[in-house]
Amino acid sequence: MTSTQTTTRWQAISFFGAKHHIVPIYLAQTIIDDLRERGCELDSQLATLECYVDQPGMMAMNRPDMDMYIEGLNIQIPCEDVASFVLQIQDHKRRGTDDVPYYKVHGRASCLVFTPTQFAEFKAKLSKALPDAEAQAAEFWAGKKVYSEVLRDANGGGDKNFGGNKMDRFKMGPGVKA
């Protein structure tokens, strides 16, 4: 690591045709060049000190997040997604070249880019946070309805499994004629 890399500045880079990337400034041009070669067009590039990364799927208001700091970047991850990220990065493959190696961690709408040292720190912190994150997520979801129940209630009752089975969309509620 060179002296310019010890005080990391981060860039939020947006592209047309690719996910939003959060990148250490000294890897920014490498990522921009790589995505341009793959046909993506640069939209914007801004300095940032924080990001939010989550997995695809339904989400709920006020769900608990965990915060992690990697070389000046505050990364927020929903507690319910920590286990998924831990599994995703277990056997992650390094990208880049021998001269400029990096790792990408993809979320729903964004991608975190790390140097090998940053990635090792991210992996260790994520694994350490897992038990507490799982406990917070379990506590948050303990009294909440599952999404099929919410859909059933929103549709006035009907079949108790409405929304829980993809074939339910073809069922008619009471008193409805086809």
The residues spanned by each domain of the chain are 8-141
Beta-carbon contacts of residue 73 (< 8 Å; ≥ 6 apart):
8, 10, 22, 48, 49, 50, 51
Cβ contacts of 106 within 8 Å, gap of 6 or more: 19, 88
Q: For 103-144, what is each residue's pLDDT tens digit?
A: 999 999 899 999 999 999 999 999 999 999 999 988 988 877
CA 106 to chain centre: 6
Give the pLDDT confidence score for residue 7 in this predicted structure: 55
**Average pLDDT of the chain?**
83
What integer is the mean pLDDT of 33-61? 87
Question: Rounded to whole angstroms, what are the CA distances from 114 to 46, 58, 100, 163?
Answer: 17, 27, 11, 39
Q: Is the pTM of this model over 0.85?
A: no
- pLDDT class of 87 with cuts at 50, 70, 90: very high
- The Cα 50–Cα 47 span in angstroms is 10
Region of 136 please: left (phi>0), alpha (psi -120 to 50) or beta: alpha
